[in-house]
Structure 1
């Protein structure tokens, strides 16, 4: 299969895996705190990756470990906790739609950090995406007074972390295999995640049934939604571009919204409009 075909297979696979991650986070939060959920997600992914990829750690040059560590914190550690905290207050489907700002933020960061010039159409894409995001959030706040939509800002911050991450991988780690990058990321994060987990009081509640059920969801999230998905994602970046790889966020809301419907979530008509505007803005900014 050619790289042109393979990148689309990877993209669709990622859309299904990451689109399902938001409902797994929601189910995990039934018995876990956001800090416990984020930590377990990283720990389960680290155990899985070390089991299959520990030999790949030796081929990472010493000079590149600083970039491996930086991408670990920006691409995994910080977003893992931000998404968990955000979904204590906003629906999983809304979280996935705001996550679709990632390609737009990738473009912004590329322009600011690497001097990539904006085309007029891309500028309007950024503006339209921001308008759609505000419409989605403000209408959600009005129609869901029991939810604190200020927490949506955390998802936006996470999408900026992803945007910086993909640019760094493309620029500094393209010579490494996806399994090397991913395993390196999680060996860096294992001790910090264990520290946060021990500090969260997790081991005092492991006997609670709902906690045990939540852990099962996070095992799937950690191994499949984080470990395997990151390998596929890094491979997609290497055979395509940061903008193409992050365009998976066009498809993620479709999968996440379908899971949300099954779990009795529903967007208002105005939020649907906001979601469409966000995706249209991202399309304009990413279109060649």
Structure 2
């Protein structure tokens, strides 16, 4: 592994491990929230919780932005937080939390592909090889069916494509930030982009769902609410600030290594919660992580 930093090695390791634990635990929190709330309710409240906790950081700074920066931050808020929050929740209605965490590891490869297609970045043979290997792993994961020790590859779980769409959104998000926000600090990008989508999430949550009714009438709603609030505050708001700080403090290679730790945490929580992984799942997991590693390692 690349030397994290000559200036703050301990801090960077703490940030890396903290991010892996927080993001890796996000999928089990989504699972718990879905026991009471619909995917739309969960996604909207996740954004509301994240945007609200960062209001002290976003409100004083938003007045200093020009119209172009605000437009770009609206896009970042949508593709970097808002849309993925709904997609992950929808995916986990039919997909285990552990496998969702593994598929999320494809994000760095989508960053490469989106950058190549829309932002004039170069895609190398190494990137292409990693994409092929990871694609094979995804194909295995979405095809495995319970019924035998090795699984049945005769059907496809289409809900995995919601995760792939979320990873695609993250790919756009990273490239937009890279090319459009050189002058803004990471904390400003995170806080203000969430502020931009907060009103939409709040209006939808209060006027377009049964969220308020469920809080009052549904058994277990309070606990589910706490799970989703933790997901929004820690898994979205604070984690994004930590990650942006890690990117600034350490090397990009070291920061991106969190991608390989998240699935491990997600799988741990899934197995602890009684989720079953077949032999085919393990093959797919190995292929996805190996493909991401090949596609992103530095020569």
- TM normalised by structure 1 equals 0.91
Correspondence 1:156-235 to 2 at 5 A: 156-197=164-205, 198-207=207-216, 208-235=218-245
Q: Secondary structure at the match of 1:128?
A: helix
2:144 aligns with one of 119, 135, 139 = 139
The total of aligned residue pairs comes to: 287
Q: In structure 1, list runs of 5 or more residues that go unmatched.
A: none
Distance 2:157 2:47 in 1: 26
Deviation of 1:27 after TM superposition, in Å, equals 0.4
Residues 1:124 and 1:80: Cα distance change in structure 2 (over 3 Å): same
Query: Is structure 2 residue 292 aligned with structure 1 residue 282?
Result: yes
Distance 2:64 2:249 in 1: 20
Distance 2:43 2:200 in 1: 11
Residue in structure 1 matched with residue 113 of structure 2 by the alignment: 108
Residue in structure 1 matched with residue 157 of structure 2 by the alignment: 149
Deviation of 1:7 after TM superposition, in Å, equals 4.8
Deviation of 1:123 after TM superposition, in Å, equals 1.2
C-alpha contact (below 8 Å) 2:142/2:156 kept by paired residues = no
Residues 1:69 and 1:133: Cα distance change in structure 2 (over 3 Å): same
Distance 1:237 1:51 in 2: 23
Distance 1:203 1:261 in 2: 32
Structure 1 residues 204-213 or 135-144, which shifts more? Answer: 135-144
C-alpha contact (below 8 Å) 1:93/1:257 kept by paired residues = yes
Distance 1:11 1:174 in 2: 23
Q: Secondary structure at the match of 2:183?
A: coil
C-alpha contact (below 8 Å) 2:57/2:188 kept by paired residues = no
CA RMSD of aligned residues (A): 2.3
Residue in structure 1 matched with residue 72 of structure 2 by the alignment: 67
Residues 1:2 and 1:171: Cα distance change in structure 2 (over 3 Å): farther
Residue in structure 1 matched with residue 276 of structure 2 by the alignment: 266
C-alpha contact (below 8 Å) 2:146/2:278 kept by paired residues = no
- TM normalised by structure 2 equals 0.88
Deviation of 1:117 after TM superposition, in Å, equals 2.4
The answer to which structure has the higher helix fraction is 1
Distance 1:73 1:205 in 2: 26
Deviation of 1:89 after TM superposition, in Å, equals 0.4
Structure 1 residues 20-29 or 228-237, which shifts more? Answer: 228-237
Distance 2:65 2:7 in 1: 24
Residue in structure 1 matched with residue 56 of structure 2 by the alignment: 51
